[in-house]
């Protein structure tokens, strides 16, 4: 059986790329199609796959300014040749789901979100005060065309699997499609509490995040400027300069850090701050896996992972005042670190591997049964990808 995985771009290791790593482990002979690939920005697990890029890879400044080519993304993803594949698994938060497949190919989409900047977060990304004079006219035109394409291309997917109930609701709203839910994996074997002999919470709160506008790190900075409590921010992004200018001396920026450093800070912090509205949110669960409570804005996927009073505190309004009140409430509470970690363990990698593999197998079989046929058998060298799927054909080189 020949399998293709389509992922939007490979330019860093975020939540989607951690899911992609699992797909690579499940289907090591699959081909990966992606718009842009920067090998030094992703792990060996991904890099050793057979990776095919789009023409955007060769455009000027594509490695750093690839988002500027957004109007070309639909054309780029449609240029991928999906002929001959039995299964296409799109790992999509932008355009990956829009690949063109033949009627004989089963296409399942693991959807991180309908394109945020095209739909419900359009005005956050492209408000007039954030756009230049020319962009105020060009961006609405191109984004209108992107929205039309995005909705139309959703009909190319045979089955959607959403990363959260929140995303499933958005898929239903924007695409008029039903979807099942499989939560992303959390590496609970790696993110663990400090041993009791070493455990001593430091007097700082922690944020680990890309520094982009919709993450609303500015709310946390304004809140902690007033609270005067230590806050450590790990991450980088286009908002970094502006955010540093807002911050007072009690707030420390550490930039991008490797996973082993993240684990140390998770394990040492007093609590984890999550001020944005996310489709799911891996970092709050990584913090919980280390036994730490979360202070989060009560919208989006975090409502499926953080329970007020059990493993954190939720604040209802996305502003500094509401966050300040939540931190003061958190300071008065005591949390059971073992119970916090137990919640994170229900989202572990082994659970994700089993659920996503079973979903692909069962949906693939159902797809062919609906056509009144058995799943096709392939000739040639075979690789077993698990009970329930037809024997697999090894990937061709080149």
Say yes or no: do domains 3-185+349-393 and 205-345 share a fold. Answer: yes
Q: What is the mean pLDDT of the chain?
A: 89
Q: What's the pLDDT score for residue 238?
A: 86
Distance CA 107, CA 272 (A): 38
The region that residue 90 occupies, defined by phi over 0 for left and psi between -120 and 50 for alpha, beta otherwise, is: beta
Q: Cβ neighbours of residue 204 under 8 Å, at least 6 residues apart?
A: 229, 230, 231, 232, 268, 269, 270
Q: What is the pTM of this model?
A: 0.86
Q: What's the pLDDT score for residue 142?
A: 82
User: In the chain, pLDDT over 90 holds for what percent of residues?
Assistant: 76
Domain spans of the chain?
Answer: 3-185+349-393, 205-345
Q: Please state, as a whole number, how many other Cβ atoms lie within 10 Å of the Cβ of residue 122.
A: 17
Q: Is 91 helix (H, G, I), strand (E, B) or coil?
A: strand
Fold of 205-345: Rossmann fold (3.40.50)
| Class in CATH terms, 3-185+349-393 | alpha beta
- With bands split at pLDDT 50, 70 and 90, how would you rate the model's confidence at 254? very high
> Which range (85-94, 190-199, 285-294, 345-354) has the least confidence?
190-199
Backbone φ and ψ of 397, nearest 5°: -75, 155
- With bands split at pLDDT 50, 70 and 90, how would you rate the model's confidence at 270? very high
Q: Please state, as a whole number, how many other Cβ atoms lie within 10 Å of the Cβ of residue 127.
A: 10
Pairwise pLDDT comparison (144 vs 376), residue with the higher score? 144
Query: Is the separation of the CB atoms in 22 and 353 below 8 Å?
Result: yes
Q: Quick one: tokens of 73?
A: 């993304």
Query: Is the separation of the CB atoms in 253 and 240 below 8 Å?
Result: yes
Q: Enumerate the H helices of the chain as residue ranges.
A: 15-26, 44-47, 62-65, 73-78, 122-125, 135-153, 165-175, 217-227, 240-246, 259-268, 282-289, 320-332, 337-345, 349-370
Model confidence over 117-133: pLDDT tens digits? 777 765 666 655 555 55
Residue 363: closest CA among 25, 87, 155: 87
Residue 287: closest CA among 261, 260, 267, 312: 267
Strand order through the sheet with 251-255: 251-255, 231-234, 205-208, 271-274, 294-297, 312-315
């Amino acid at each position: 059986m020949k399998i293709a995985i389509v992922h939007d771009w490979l330019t860093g290791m975020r939540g989607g790329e951690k899911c992609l790593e699992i797909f690579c482990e499940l289907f090591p002979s699959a081909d990966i199609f992606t718009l842009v690939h920067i090998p030094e920005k992703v792990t060996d697990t991904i890099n050793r796959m057979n990776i095919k890029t789009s023409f955007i890879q060769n455009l000027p400044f594509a490695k750093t300014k690839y988002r500027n080519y957004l109007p070309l993304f639909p054309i780029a993803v449609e240029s991928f040749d999906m002929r001959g594949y039995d299964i296409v698994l799109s790992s999509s938060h932008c355009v990956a789901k829009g690949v063109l497949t033949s009627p004989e190919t089963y296409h399942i989409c693991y959807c991180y979100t309908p394109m945020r900047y095209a739909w419900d977060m359009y005005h956050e990304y492209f408000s007039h005060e954030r756009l230049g004079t020319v962009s105020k006219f060009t961006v609405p035109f191109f984004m209108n065309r992107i929205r039309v394409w995005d909705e139309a291309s959703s009909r190319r997917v045979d089955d959607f699997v959403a990363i959260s109930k929140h995303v499933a609701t958005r898929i239903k709203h924007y695409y008029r499609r039903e979807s099942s839910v499989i939560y992303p994996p959390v590496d609970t074997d790696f993110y663990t509490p400090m041993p009791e002999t070493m455990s001593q919470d430091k007097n700082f709160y922690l944020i680990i995040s890309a520094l982009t506008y919709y993450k609303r790190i500015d709310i946390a900075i304004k809140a902690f400027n007033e609270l005067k409590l230590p806050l450590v921010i790990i991450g980088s992004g286009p908002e970094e300069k502006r955010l540093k200018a807002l911050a007072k001396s009690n707030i420390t920026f550490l930039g991008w850090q490797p996973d082993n450093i993240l684990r140390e800070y998770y394990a040492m912090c007093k609590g984890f701050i999550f001020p944005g509205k996310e489709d799911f949110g891996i970092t709050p669960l990584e913090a919980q896996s280390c036994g730490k409570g979360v202070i989060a804005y009560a919208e989006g996927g975090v409502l499926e992972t953080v329970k007020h009073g059990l493993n954190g505190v939720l604040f209802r309004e996305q502003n500094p005042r509401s966050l300040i009140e939540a931190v003061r409430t958190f300071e008065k509470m005591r949390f059971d670190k073992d119970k916090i970690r137990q919640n994170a363990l229900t989202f572990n990698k082994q659970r994700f591997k089993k659920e996503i593999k079973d979903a692909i197998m069962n949906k693939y079989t159902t797809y062919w049964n609906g056509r009144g046929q058995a799943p096709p058998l392939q000739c040639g060298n075979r690789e077993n990808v698990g009970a329930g799927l037809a024997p697999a054909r090894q990937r061709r080189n080149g």
